[in-house]
Structure 1
Amino acid sequence: MTQTPQASQARPLVIGGNGKTGRRVAQKLDLLGIPVRIGSRTGAPAFDWNAPVTWEPALEGVDRVYVTYYPDLAFPGAAEQIGAFSEAAVAAGARRLVLLSGRGEEAAQRAEESLKASGADWTVVRSSWFAQNFDEGFFVESVRAGEIALPTADAVEAFVDTDDIADVVVAALTDDRHIGRTYELSGPRLISFTDAAAELSKATGRAIAYVPVSNEEYRAVLRENGLPHEFADLFTMILDGRNAHLVHGVEEALGRAPRDFADYAREAAATGVWDV
């Protein structure tokens, strides 16, 4: 990866800089000697997607932005907010925007077009499901309990490691060759949730099972835990097979293969995150 002279002096804004991909992007930029501003509600200045008044202060002195959106680009209103923010970013002097998007999500693609319409120097990074959802997100307590109950049946997914995502994002933020590119990322193989449970069992040395449940049962669990029940809709993208094929954005952007889920599982298990 090569940096432009301007990039080495710049201050990127990393929205969601405490999240799964944003934290890694910020850490990798820091290792390159590039100071980072974290865009979050607890940042200084604070950034809140639902409070546009916070956008301009967060963008002051920034020329590049890693754009992640919570809860998900597939949610209603996301494309409009992405468009409004992108216009504000370009007006503030932040011309290079790198957007984390989703594979096979029509709503996410509308958000991509909203970002591009701002006139920014853009890169889009479309990702499959994160491997780290099993130790940093939705599924960590289920893995600890030894039972992953989800409405995915025997569908397969090409789980992608968030370190691979972060490496692609950092390349896009620091190298002009990635401007105007859309990278679709996946892991190196397709696996079912039963396969994932088997890899986690092997990594932890104890039995972890995948248990299929209905979509309505899963919605009820989300509601009980105070999470948007719309998250259940994201599983339809696994069930309908739209992403049941490998893509090669990691190789295209970085010139190397993506990490395998088994390697992720071994390294995560070694941290003790799933110890009972």
Structure 2
Amino acid sequence: MTTNTNTKTGTLTHTKADTLTVLVTGATGKTGRRVAGRLAERGATVRAGSRTGTTRFDWEDGGTWAPALRGADAAYVNYYPDLAAPGAAETMRTFGELAAANGVRRLTLLSGRGEPEAVRAEEALRGSGAELAVVRAAFFTQNFTEGAMAEGVAAGTIAFPAGGTAEPFVDADDLADVIVETLTADGHAGLVHELTGPRLLTFAEVAAEISRASGREVAYVPMSESEYAALLGRFGLPDPEARWLSALFAMLLDGHNASVTDGVRRVLGREPRDFTAFAAEAWGRVVTDA
């Protein structure tokens, strides 16, 4: 585990995880369950916040926030549906004020790369007075194995409004390691960590990687923004939400995020996992077991 230098003393400092109580919001999701598991392994007392769990937490029900925050030392803030969504900044401001009022001294916020509206939400939370670290992540590699896209991948198709744009896909396990570090180590307050994988890949190249690892053909099908919104509608998403989400993806994949960062290496002292290694583990095992 990487440590951080105290600029006053020159020493490397960590908070002992087994002395911490940490609220993990979205604790059943891609990142939340990974963060909760890693914190528990380190001995932290984890409040796994979710709509139906023992620690009830629902972003749409502000009445669940204070009971979940009360007595916690830190919190992982994983906002749904996205920090770029309408009203997110106001929600972050209210949540931050409540966290500070309940004695929570350290927050780590999951954000997205290249989302101007998300930056507004970051700043709203920063005004709470708690120590805030922001982690801006690229597109998750696990989106191809978990969640809405996984069904299409299993059927042999990746349909998405990305065109030929390259993306530096980041592994959610690397992301979780960074988040846990920011929650348990000193020196991250006020910092923004941008996390990517080690190289750029187009969605067509991702499909080729998955095809090689799984031994079956997976094809990338580029879609327009409106075509993708219609696809989401056929899966039951309400039209306004489908159009907003499709527009968000189209904006994120217009090329302005097509660069890699050294964020994982700077925080963890190691390189991020490459998509090829991820694909070998995710699909190679399936082929072997078959």
TM-score (norm. length: structure 2): 0.91
How many percent of aligned residue pairs carry the same amino acid? 54
Q: Is the 8 A contact 2:83 2:89 kept in 1?
A: yes
Indicate the residue corresponding to 1:251 in structure 2: 265
Amino acid of the structure 2 residue aligned with 1:177: G
Q: Is the 8 A contact 1:11 1:34 kept in 2?
A: yes
Shift of 1:101: 0.4
Which residue of 216, 220, 240 maps to 2:226?
Answer: 216
Unaligned runs of 5+ in 1: none
Which residue of 92, 100, 109 maps to 1:99?
Answer: 109
Shift of 1:39: 1.1
Amino acid of the structure 2 residue aligned with 1:260: D
User: Is 2:178 aligned against 1:168?
Assistant: yes
Could you say what secondary structure the match of 2:141 adopts? coil
Could you say what secondary structure the match of 2:107 adopts? strand
Q: Distance in 2 between matches of 1:239 and 1:218?
A: 13
Q: Distance in 1 between matches of 2:154 and 2:255?
A: 28
Unaligned runs of 5+ in 2: 4-12
Indicate the residue corresponding to 1:236 in structure 2: 250
Could you say what secondary structure the match of 2:248 adopts? helix
Amino acid of the structure 1 residue aligned with 2:265: E
Amino acid of the structure 1 residue aligned with 2:271: A
Shift of 1:181: 1.3
Could you say what secondary structure the match of 1:211 adopts? strand
Moved over 4 A (4+): none
Query: What is the correspondence of 1:1-276 to structure 2 with a 5 Å cutoff?
Result: 1=1, 4-5=14-15, 7-227=17-237, 228-229=241-242, 230-270=244-284, 272=286
Q: Is the 8 A contact 1:142 1:149 kept in 2?
A: yes
| CA distance 1:117–1:189, change in 2 (3 Å) | same
Q: Distance in 2 between matches of 1:238 and 1:99?
A: 19
RMSD over equivalenced CA pairs, Å: 1.7
Shift of 1:234: 2.3
Shift of 1:207: 0.6
| CA distance 1:271–1:80, change in 2 (3 Å) | farther
Shift of 1:33: 1.2
Shift of 1:5: 4.6
Q: Is the 8 A contact 1:160 1:185 kept in 2?
A: yes
CA deviation digits over 1:109-129, x for unaligned, max 9?
Answer: 011101110011010000000
Could you say what secondary structure the match of 2:133 adopts? strand
Q: Distance in 2 between matches of 1:88 and 1:54?
A: 11
Could you say what secondary structure the match of 1:139 adopts? helix
Q: Is the 8 A contact 2:15 2:184 kept in 1?
A: no
Amino acid of the structure 2 residue aligned with 1:146: G
| CA distance 1:238–1:54, change in 2 (3 Å) | closer
Q: Is the 8 A contact 2:196 2:261 kept in 1?
A: yes
CA deviation digits over 1:176-225, x for unaligned, max 9?
Answer: 12222110000000000000000000110011010112211110111111
Amino acid of the structure 2 residue aligned with 1:31: E
Could you say what secondary structure the match of 2:286 adopts? coil
| CA distance 1:6–1:207, change in 2 (3 Å) | closer
Amino acid of the structure 2 residue aligned with 1:190: L
CA deviation digits over 1:216-270, x for unaligned, max 9?
Answer: 1110111111233122122223442110111111011111111101111111114
Q: Is the 8 A contact 2:22 2:76 kept in 1?
A: yes
Q: Is the 8 A contact 1:158 1:246 kept in 2?
A: yes
Which stretch has the larger CA shift, 79-88 or 263-272? 263-272
Q: Distance in 2 between matches of 1:81 and 1:239?
A: 26
TM-score (norm. length: structure 1): 0.95
Amino acid of the structure 2 residue aligned with 1:267: E
| CA distance 1:238–1:56, change in 2 (3 Å) | closer
